[in-house]
Amino acid sequence: MLTLIKNTHLYTPEYCGVKDLLLCGEKLVAIGEHLNVTGTQTQEIDAQGLNCMPGLIDQHVHIIGGGGQTGYFSLAPEISLSTLIKCGTTTVVGLLGTDGFVKTLPQLYAKTKALCQDGISAYMLTGFYGLPTPTITSSIAEDMIYLDKCIGCKIAMSDDRSSHPTKLELLRIIQQVRLGGFTSAKGGVMHVHLGALPSKIDLLLEIAKEFPSLISYISPTHMGRTHDLFLQAIEFAKLGGMVDISTGGTKYTDPHLTVMEGLERGININQMTFSSDGNAGVRRKNSETGEDTYKKAPLHKNLEQVVALIKEDGMSPSEAFKLITVNPAKNMKLKSKGRIAEELDADFTLFDDQWQLQEVWARGTRMMHEGTVIKKGNFEE
């Protein structure tokens, strides 16, 4: 079955004017003006007045739940498909946090595959906060080579919950993701959780300066946690690195303001990304009883902060949406994601003129219509 989307204001994310999109199965097969299809069964949808963007990418999500810092009851549950669709997310990268002893990599892989069966695109990172790095096979490289959805490894540093990896240990992880990426043709990435300790990204800067060819394999996240950390992030970006700013976690100011400061200090917009750190456990203390309560960390902040860049900071939509489309695709080396182009996966989102999400399409299937999720996962009511 073919689907023809007519008369949309197309952003790829660059603005291309009013265009029609032709979908066949999971792929986008044609982009043009006044497209017509004859001689076959075609679903035609008029998207006049709507803005079309690539499907959104969230490169840091606890898809099987995070948390667990004050006992078993504080472990967050698995994420639901509809929660991702509500945010316009059509591609997600799942990972473990401090919970890597009771939430395991086989569980993470199974959930990754389940989300793919639900209709979106999902990937995973092996490892977790600590050392030695847990894997499903015998090594990080083999996880990437033999597990179809594994694209890299996670590690934590400059955090009092981390294993405080040395420069040599970080280099050995990079070697594993690099060689695993060679063989699997996935590229490879070492995704680094950053805490608020004074060591910040000192070791990553040392590696980037000593081995410039390795910087594309390093993906530091939570870089807006403190202002001092972000100042180092600016230095890392000027060396050619990518800087990921969490929208739902600890931050020194609103993430959209962090982006604007980065631009003012010389970072190129193409070197910054947003990620949610969503579905981790967020602790709250009941002011009346003093008891700890928990809720899941939000996922909708990525889109919220992009819209703030447009409405509050005057950034063009094509530039602002790079933070959650083409930039994370580049960072995670996902070649078929982040852009709207012929022969790529048919992942896109449709917005009204106020940038309110109206439609979500993932791999050629409509997941949201008129602002309502119409495709839910199993066990969702």
Tell me if the bond preceding 13 is cis, omega within 30° of 0: yes
Cβ atoms 278, 61 nearer than 8 A: yes
**Bridge-based pairing state of the strands 348-351 and 357-362:** antiparallel
Angle of helix 255-264 versus helix 301-311 axis, rounded to 10: 50
143 classed as catalytic? no
C-alpha span between 100 and 120 (Å, rounded): 25
Complete DSSP assignment for 35-84: ----SS-EEEEE-TT-EEEEPEEEEEE-TT--B-BTBGGGB--PPPHHHH
The values of phi and psi at residue 220, to 5°, are -75, 140
Which region holds residue 290: left if phi is over 0, alpha if psi is between -120 and 50, else beta?
A: left
SS3 186: coil
**Bridge-based pairing state of the strands 2-11 and 272-275:** unpaired
The residue annotated as part of the active site, out of 277, 292, 347, 352, is 277
The values of phi and psi at residue 46, to 5°, are -90, 115
Q: How far is residue 43 from each of residues 23, 26, 40, 265, 350, measured CA to CA in Å?
A: 10, 14, 10, 48, 17
Residue with tokens 């009771």: 102
SS3 21: strand
C-alpha of 340 from chain center: 17
Closest to 21 (Cα-Cα) out of 303, 374, 325, 350: 350
Catalytic residues: 277
